[in-house]
Amino acid sequence: MVVRPAAAQYVVALVNGEPITALDVEQRIRLMQLIARRQLSKQEATEELVNEKIKLQQAKNLKITVTDIEVERAFAAVAGQSGRLATDFSGALKQSGIDVSIFKAKLKTDLAWRQALQQTTPGAFYVRDADIVAALTARGQRQTGKAMQYTMRQIIFVVPRGSPAALRNARVREAEALRARFTSCDEGIKFAREYHDVVIKDSVIRISTDLPAKFQTLLEQTSDGRLTPPEPTIAGIEVVAVCDRKETTADVTSLREVKEQLLSQRVALEEKQLLEQFRRQAIIEYR
């Protein structure tokens, strides 16, 4: 058992009664040096941690939960970006004096905050095709390639964690029964609402070039107005309604780049405004 010096446990700030210690600040400085090659001052590191406390608290207020599986996936993704396996990346963190659990706690906060933003400002996560075309035009670029634009709705037959296999199998049968009745999004969504514990997401528009190859193939094999085959997920059994499709033209590389840029700008603006609002409402005490 590692015994930390008393100085490391010294509370440097309280956010709505939750402490941030000198150790937390020290760990954040080391983490940013390793991950982002950023040299933070103690004040900058403290402010980052204050913001993250607020983000996590707001996510909890919205009843948002992030599973350990989601955190581990995010950790593996960060490891992959650095060219390492998750186990090797854990070793690199430890060698740099960084507590792996603290880093995973940060990832959990990031994931929860993302969901909080999606709930409170869903419009920030939607980029219209017209906006992309306008951005391409402003850059002097033209649409040249072909892609398919899909309008879809996600339907989830909820299966609580730890449920027996019999319940999951029953939900698969329900999804298959809905799939047999589903012939159009307008009528099919009404049928879906007849089932208990079913989450029906709002319509989304996606361009094929932004989707994984496996999912692209699945959509190609699913007629308009029909459902994809049931797929097990963390939340339960998922099917996707293909409401409409149409061919569009775009420079695939530029399209993805412009979309990500627009999305990043919108999310950053919404995040800044929302965080400022929550900070004004929070009780922050520096020591």
In this structure, is residue 58 part of a structural domain? yes
In this structure, is residue 264 part of a structural domain? no
* pLDDT at residue number 3: 45
Task: Tell whether 178 and 245 lie within a shared domain.
Answer: yes
In this structure, is residue 16 part of a structural domain? yes
The mean pLDDT of the chain is: 85
Task: Tell whether 104 and 194 lie within a shared domain.
Answer: no
pLDDT at 232 over 90: no
Mean pLDDT, residues 76-84 taken together: 84
Helix (H) or strand (E) holding 54: helix 42-61
Query: Coil, strand, or helix at residue 240?
Result: strand
* pLDDT at residue number 144: 55
Burial grade of 128 (CB within 10 A; 0-12, 13-18, 19 or more): exposed
* pLDDT at residue number 1: 43
- CATH number of the domain bearing residue 213: 3.10.50.40
* pLDDT at residue number 2: 46
**What is the helix, strand, coil percentage profile of the chain, to 5?**
55, 15, 25
* pLDDT at residue number 198: 94
pLDDT above 90 coverage of the chain, percent = 45
In this structure, is residue 234 part of a structural domain? yes
- CATH number of the domain bearing residue 72: 1.10.4030.10
Mean pLDDT, residues 244-271 taken together: 73
Task: Tell whether 161 and 80 lie within a shared domain.
Answer: no
Task: Tell whether 103 and 22 lie within a shared domain.
Answer: yes
Task: Tell whether 154 and 98 lie within a shared domain.
Answer: no
In this structure, is residue 255 part of a structural domain? no
In this structure, is residue 134 part of a structural domain? no
In this structure, is residue 268 part of a structural domain? no
Pick from 161, 249, 231, 237: which is nearest to 192 by CA? 237
pLDDT at 140 over 70: no
Range of the domain at 51: 6-120
**Who has greater pLDDT, 38 or 249?**
38
Task: Tell whether 178 and 116 lie within a shared domain.
Answer: no
pLDDT at 195 over 80: yes
Is there a contact between 148 and 207 (Cβ–Cβ < 8 Å)? Answer: yes
Least confident span in 9-13, 207-211, 231-235, 254-258: 254-258
How far is C-alpha 22 from the geometric centre of its chain's CA atoms?
A: 30
Is there a contact between 242 and 228 (Cβ–Cβ < 8 Å)? Answer: yes
* pLDDT at residue number 249: 66
Which residues 6+ apart lie within 8 Å of 249 measured at CB?
143, 144, 145, 146, 147
Least confident span in 20-29, 46-55, 77-86, 233-242: 77-86
Least confident span in 122-131, 188-197, 213-222: 122-131
In this structure, is residue 278 part of a structural domain? no
Specify the number of domains making up the chain.
2
Least confident span in 21-25, 33-37, 110-114, 131-135: 131-135
pLDDT band at 123 (very low <50, low <70, confident <90, very high): low
Pick the last residue of a domain from 120, 154, 174.
Answer: 120
Task: Tell whether 23 and 116 lie within a shared domain.
Answer: yes
Task: Tell whether 88 and 18 lie within a shared domain.
Answer: yes
Task: Please report the beta strands in 159-277, taking only residues with DSSP state E, as ranges in sequence order.
Answer: 198-200, 204-207, 226-227, 231-232, 236-249
* pLDDT at residue number 189: 94
Task: Tell whether 10 and 71 lie within a shared domain.
Answer: yes
Task: Tell whether 88 and 169 lie within a shared domain.
Answer: no
Pick the last residue of a domain from 120, 137, 159.
Answer: 120
